Amino acid sequence: MPELPPLPPLGPEVVDEFTRTIYGRTPPGGELAEVVLRSREDGVLDGTADRLRHRATIRCPLGTLEFDTLLHLPSGVAAAPVVVILNFEGNDETLTSFPYRKIAEAGYAVLTAHYQQIEPDDPNPPAPGVRGLFPAETWGAVAAWAWALSRLLDIASTVDGIDPERAVALGHSRLGKAALWAGVQDERFGLTVSNDSGCCGAALFRHPGGEDIEAITRRFPHWFVPSFAQYAGKEDELPVDQHQLLASIAPRRVYVCSAEDDAWADPDGEYLAVEAARPAFGPGGIGYHIRPGGHALLEEDWMKALAF
């Protein structure tokens, strides 16, 4: 493996370099205009949680963005810490794929929205997403999803029963890349969790294995700034590497989850990034696990991350 860029000095310059080279600049603005309660069911999941659905409106410079959220609050908790997470298949699909009951029993609230209601995951989207609501900006879709995690926290902050001072940004795979970028930029997140986030997430570019810049920019050009593709096959010329991304979140906490059979996300490269970032954190500031199995966000991943 080629030598990694040095960990120090960290600071705004390193974050600027990630902005310029990979993710693009997130524009200022985007205000929460309205959060409308659509439904509320108390005592679901055998009385462990209350389930609320909201419709949120965000006012952006060139128009408004509307999307639906699904919130689970742990029953009987006055001010619960909250996990914000985007989902892949729609809010209702999380009712069968997220371990809501176990999460509620652990005392956490979860607020989720469907990622493509924010920004389509398509190099030639049929309709523009939130990026079309800001003038002349160059952010990629990963940055738009990261922006959405911050908006989810804005929404959570308006709801009774949540303690917005204890907020977790969590994401799987491409949305794990977004969670890390949200964690770097939004200091309200006390814990950032990436699950199987791989290339442009927690995995080192300079560690060979799994997806590389050529593959990711060819298949998903809309995720990043267009100029990122010029580093295809030139990983060791990148001015940054992902241990610096993790370290940029310090002193706030980070937890990285890998899976043994998820070679495409390069679990070894994720582990090495965590170890290279570790000196930037205080004791217990960064954690890691690897579990058997493949590319998925499983109950084990949720519960280990929340226990951390």
Q: Which of 264, 289, 300, 308 binds ligand GCU (CB under 6 A)?
A: 264
Interaction between residue 170 and ligand GCU (CB under 6 A) = no
**Shortest distance (Å) from residue 176 CB to ligand GCU:** 7
The residue (of 27 and 267) whose beta carbon lies closer to ligand GCU is 267
Residue 174 sits in the site that holds ligand GCU (CB under 6 A): yes
Interaction between residue 211 and ligand GCU (CB under 6 A): yes
Q: Closest approach of Cβ 175 to ligand GCU, in Å?
A: 7
Indicate the residue among 115 and 255 with the shorter CB distance to ligand GCU: 115
Of 74, 198, 269, 287, the one binding ligand GCU (CB under 6 A) is 198
The reply on whether position 308 binds ligand GCU by CB under 6 A is: no
| Complex with ligand GCU: residue 50 or 119, whichever CB lies closer | 119
Locate tokens 């609501």: which residue? 133
Residue ranges of the alpha helices (H) in the chain?
12-18, 44-47, 94-97, 100-105, 141-156, 174-185, 213-219, 242-247, 267-277, 299-307
Q: Does 297 bind ligand GCU (CB under 6 A)?
A: no
Based on CB atoms, which residue is closest to ligand GCU, 108 or 139? 139
39 HSE (CA, 13 A, CB side): 7
Which of 69, 87, 173, 194 contacts ligand GCU by CB under 6 A? 173
- Least distance CB 62 / ligand GCU (angstroms): 28
What are the residue numbers of the active site?
173, 295
SS3 of residue 139 by DSSP: coil
Q: What are phi and psi of 249, to 5 degrees?
A: -80, -25
Count of residues interacting with ligand GCU (CB under 6 A): 7
Residue 225 CB, nearest approach to ligand GCU (Å)? 16
For 188, the 3-state DSSP assignment is: coil
Cis, bond preceding 135 (omega within 30 deg of 0): no
Q: Contacting ligand GCU (CB under 6 A), which of 113, 199, 276, 277?
A: 199
Name the phi and psi angles at 287, rounded to 5.
Answer: -135, 165
- Cα distances (Å, whole numbers) of residue 11 to 211, 218, 239, 286, 287: 28, 31, 14, 18, 21
Cα atoms in the 13 Å half-sphere on the side-chain side of 275? 8
- Alpha helices by DSSP H, listed for 33-140, are 44-47, 94-97, 100-105
CB of 91 to ligand GCU, least distance (A): 18
Q: CA-CA distance, 157 to 178, in Å (whole number)?
A: 20
Closest to ligand GCU by CB, 48 vs 97, is 97
Interface residues with ligand GCU (CB under 6 A)? 173-174, 198-199, 211, 216, 264
